[in-house]
Amino acid sequence: MPPRPELPRRRPAAVRRRAASGAVRALTSREAGLVLLRIAAMAALYYGAAELGLQQQLVRGQVTPLWPPTGVAVAGLLAVGPRVWPGIALGAFLANVSLGPSIPAVLLIVAGNTLAPVCAYLLLRRAGFRTELDRLRDVPALVFLGALGGMLVSATVGSAVLLVSGAIDGSDFWPTWSVWWTGDAMGVLVVTPFLLMLRRVRRPVGAGWPRWAEAAALAAGTVLVTHLATRTSNASLLFLVFPFLIWAAYRFRQPGAATCTLAVSTLAILAAAGGSGPFAGHDLFSNMVTLQAFNGTAALTALLLAAVVTERDETHQEIKRLCSRLAEVVAQIEPRPEAYGRTGYEPGYEAGDSVADGSGAEPPAGAEGESGAGAVRSPGGPDRHERRASYGRAADAEGAGFREAGLRDADLRDADAAGAEVRGAEVRGAEVRSTEARGTDVSRTDVSGTEARRDDES
């Protein structure tokens, strides 16, 4: 009796669990290091953007018409994920600790500033938002869910904390709330698209000097016209910048639209903070309404147009691709009448005619039906029949070219193959019943073992 083979010994369950837990701990350690690095980067970016935004504060040294950190936070959450929210909280705390009335008030403000971007992120993900902003539905989602909806949290919490702590009076609550809300919303609407496009921008391939000259002219014209419009007392001149926004969106898509929108909004905010141009001689609430209406309209127009143009281009490319594939398919199945002169085929040949390149040679043995003729002959009957085969049904192969076809064990019943060119076809073991093959070129055809029934000469 042969000896039984030894089975490999399995390690004890405890050893396996320790090894698996060690691998998980090692993987978690690497991921934890990456997450900590991203949190630190988010905190640094948030704090830097906060210091930049506080340069144009309007209420109590900490409420501004444009709060860039909200745009940085939402863009970071969309690009990296929700794991970086501690970086948002840390950056918000560092930015507000020197401004808040007290530590508890600062902590509540930090909680509101952290919760607002997270809510905006969750709402955008719920709506299926794509960071490419290449669909028309993405722009309204960013405006109404990310900017206007999500930032209600930070504005309400922050203004309420300032009111309860005595930092502002009751009469200043709504002006403070409006500035806080619009500043946070404009940060998302203006800064977030720019950052999302900045992470995807690449040096254009094959762009010549005319393209670069056009981009330079667009940038110079946008800055010049916006500067002039914000330095005159006529508010209607602000709309002179819209042709440049349309130009940017149509010619440079999302990157151009986001960049020009950021430049226009920044110049308008500087004019509103300085009380110059169309913002001179008005109270804070009126200036905020005018400023945010202009910024929101500019951003919405540019981003919507860029999304529409991008969708049009993608649809055009898809149509071209489908047309190309359709042309290839048609070229493969299209009849080739010019093959008649090349193969010696003449439609309507009689029994016994040569079909092998016009040389007078007889077809191979086994290619004849019950009538005993030396060629595949077609029975009388209807002009068109249904071909039932393993690869398709109801196929009309009249005048089609089939070269080097492998049809082993195929079932071809009532096939209409009038004028078909079948060269070098391998039809071993095929069952051909009631086949109409008038004038079929079956030269060099291997039909060994073929069963042909009810075939008669056409």
Question: Residue 134 — pLDDT band, cuts 50, 70, 90?
Answer: confident
Top-ranked range on mean pLDDT: pick from 59-68, 215-224, 373-382, 435-444: 215-224
Rounded to whole angstroms, what are the CA distances from 158 to 109, 112, 177, 369?
Answer: 5, 7, 8, 94
Element (H, E) at 403: strand 401-403
12-47 exposure pattern, b = at least 16 Cβ within 10 A, e = fewer:
eeeeeeeeeeeeeeeeeeeeeeebeebbeebbebbb
Q: Is the pLDDT of residue 204 over 80?
A: no
**For residues 127-156, average pLDDT:** 92
pLDDT digits (tens, 9 = 90+) for 234-275: 777 888 999 999 999 999 999 999 999 999 999 998 888 888
Q: Give the number of C-alpha atoms closer than 13 A to the C-alpha of residue 389, restricted to the C-beta side.
A: 21
Confidence of residue 18 (pLDDT cuts 50, 70, 90): low
pLDDT, position 61: 58
Query: CA dist 341 to 358, 421, 422, Å?
Result: 10, 12, 15
Mean pLDDT of 304-331: 92
pLDDT band at 216 (very low <50, low <70, confident <90, very high): very high
168-177: long-range pairs with CB below 8 Å, 24+ = 168/59, 168/60, 172/59, 174/285, 175/59, 175/284, 175/285, 175/288, 176/59, 176/60, 176/63
pLDDT band at 320 (very low <50, low <70, confident <90, very high): very high
What is the pLDDT confidence band of residue 426, given thresholds at 50, 70 and 90?
very low
| The predicted structure's pLDDT at residue 76 | 95
Mean pLDDT of 118-130: 95
Q: How far apart are CA 301 and CA 379, in angstroms?
A: 71
pLDDT at 427: 42
Mean per-residue pLDDT of the chain: 74
Q: What is the pLDDT of residue 31?
A: 81
> What pLDDT, on a 0 to 100 scale, did the predictor assign at position 12?
58
Q: What's the pLDDT tens digit per position in 273-317?
A: 888 888 888 877 788 888 888 988 999 999 999 999 999 999 999
C-beta neighbour count of 268 within 10 angstroms: 27
Helices (H) and strands (E) in the chain, counts: 12, 7
CA 62/CA 46 separation, integer angstroms:
15
Domain-by-domain residue ranges, the chain?
21-200+208-323, 335-458
Q: Mean pLDDT throughout 344-364?
A: 45
If pLDDT is split at 50, 70 and 90, which confidence band does 352 have?
very low
- Report, in this order, helix, strand and coil percent for the chain, each rounded to 5: 60, 5, 35
pTM over 0.75: no
Pairing of strands 421-423, 388-389: unpaired
If one compares 284 and 161, the residue with the highest pLDDT of the two is: 161
Tell me, what DSSP letter sits at residue 380? S
